[in-house]
Amino acid sequence: MKKSLLAVAAIGAFASAAQAQSSVTVYGILDMGYIGGNTRVQNNTPGTAGTTATNLTQNTQTSSIGSAAESTGRLGFKGNEDLGGGLSGFFTVEIGLQPSSTSTLDSGATQNRQTFVGLKKNGIGQFALGTQYTTIHNAVSATDPGQANNMMGNVIYDKAAGTTTPTVTTSSASTQTAGNAQYSGMGNNTSYVVRSSNMLTFSTDNFAGAVVNGFVQSGSGTTNNTTTNQTAGTVTGGKTASSGYGLGVNYSWQKLLVTANVQTFNQISPYTVAANNGAYTTGFSSPYGAAGAASLGQNIADTTSYAAGTYDFGILKAYVQYIARKQVDAHNSNNSVGRTAQQIGVRSFITPTIESWASAGNGKIKYISAGNTTFVTGMTGPASVGANFGGFQLGTNYYLSKRTNLYAIYGQQRTNNATYNATNGPTAYNANDYAVGVRHTF
């Protein structure tokens, strides 16, 4: 009997020790409310049949009970294990939730919000492998006055919850797709890449106020393609691959935080060449004896830089942000899409339970095409066109507790002089959205 009691006590002590060294936390966010929006697009240039109608105006209004106005729903599990000697292992598994949908678990592309595993060494830093946020998104999350919510008006984290895309169409439903400036230059959440799979991230400990972080990304695999179509006289070659890297530095001193970051992603797809056909002389050399390329395939370099700063004055926190993104065709640097934006904002607790924020910003979008219609849809010849855009956002949280708050958010954006080519003239977009709801974190 005594031996049995001793064995039970030993097992209990071992379990207690194991529990003390490792832990798993379940967390999440549920956000529901009433969301509405209005969009208006106008084009006053006569166009050819099937492109743009004369004096075309399109108005769209939407409203419904919806989700994710302030924060995207999520369910997560994270754990940490003390391995001794200042070394610890950690993991995170996080999936999207859509409480307004018949399928609560988000089955879209963002279902896997984060899944990674890593090691941390006290005094040095940490690394992790898996699907993770990019360097720039982590920096934006720490320096955005709206805390990267999903409403319109933020030109850095450009989102558009509760509204539809205001494209220009004719009675034949032909869409004006050349660039499609939309709300803030490049569309919904196109300021930067938010997350990626197959990433190795790292972050140093804080050394004299500075933290260095970054990532390396490699695609799920590289496939070499060597297919010959003798009937068509073509050869498909090259590879399908993606890669990327990022680097950032955060520096904090008392109430000041500044950050500078850059990240690049490359996407490559196969090419098609005319087998021994001298008619194709685009300067591309094939290993199969072709004179040139019938189709260059895709080879896009996507580079984004972000710099921001915050200062806590006590009664309020001030924000300043700048972002620049450029996507360039590696086959012809004259094919590119560029977007720059800058924004200022403030955030403050008006009372111990009421928090408010405001932000305003503007920017420019520019499309340059040397006639490559696959890179910039609708660009049938050399062109350099673009648009100016701007927006603002106001929001308030009323905290019922540390985990539950009511919110009200209003955002508005505009895009002026969005020109595409000689056929499609200047276009103006105006859009706004608003939401009132409740958010609970657990």
Contact 376, 358 (CB under 8 A): no
Q: Is residue 315 part of a domain?
A: yes
State the pLDDT at residue 6: 42
What's the average model confidence in pLDDT over 94-102?
Answer: 84
Q: Is residue 67 part of a domain?
A: no
308 pLDDT more than 90: yes
Q: Is residue 351 part of a domain?
A: yes
State the pLDDT at residue 202: 98
Of 74, 73, 76, 75, whose CA–CA distance to 24 is shortest? 76
288 pLDDT more than 50: no
Of 262, 281, 264, 263, whose CA–CA distance to 273 is shortest? 281
Q: Is residue 402 part of a domain?
A: yes
State the pLDDT at residue 279: 37
Domain count, the chain: 1
234-247: pLDDT as tens digits: 555 555 667 899 99
Q: Is residue 110 part of a domain?
A: no
- Lowest mean per-residue pLDDT among 123-127, 283-287, 306-310: 283-287
167-200: pLDDT as tens digits: 333 222 222 233 333 333 434 456 888 888 899 9
Q: Is residue 72 part of a domain?
A: no
Confidence band, pLDDT 50/70/90 cuts, at residue 13: very low
| Residue 65 one-letter amino acid | I
Of 98, 93, 99, whose CA–CA distance to 76 is shortest? 93
Q: Which residues contact 436 (CB under 8 A, 6 or more apart)?
A: 33, 34, 406, 407, 408
**CATH code of the domain in which 213 resides:** 2.40.160.10
Instruction: Give the rounded percent of residues in the chain with a pLDDT score beyond 90.
Output: 45
| Domain enclosing residue 437, as ranges | 123-441
State the pLDDT at residue 15: 41
Q: Which residues contact 397 (CB under 8 A, 6 or more apart)?
A: 70, 354, 355, 356, 405, 406, 407
The DSSP secondary-structure symbol of 153 reads T
Confidence band, pLDDT 50/70/90 cuts, at residue 61: confident
213-233: pLDDT as tens digits: 999 998 755 555 555 444 444
124 pLDDT more than 60: yes
Place of tokens 């800058």: 342
| Rounded CA separation 152/144 (Å) | 14
Paired strand residues for 119? 89, 127
Q: Is residue 179 part of a domain?
A: yes
Q: Is residue 24 part of a domain?
A: no
What's the average model confidence in pLDDT over 350-373?
Answer: 83
State the pLDDT at residue 17: 42
Indicate the pTM of the whole model.
0.80
431 pLDDT more than 60: yes
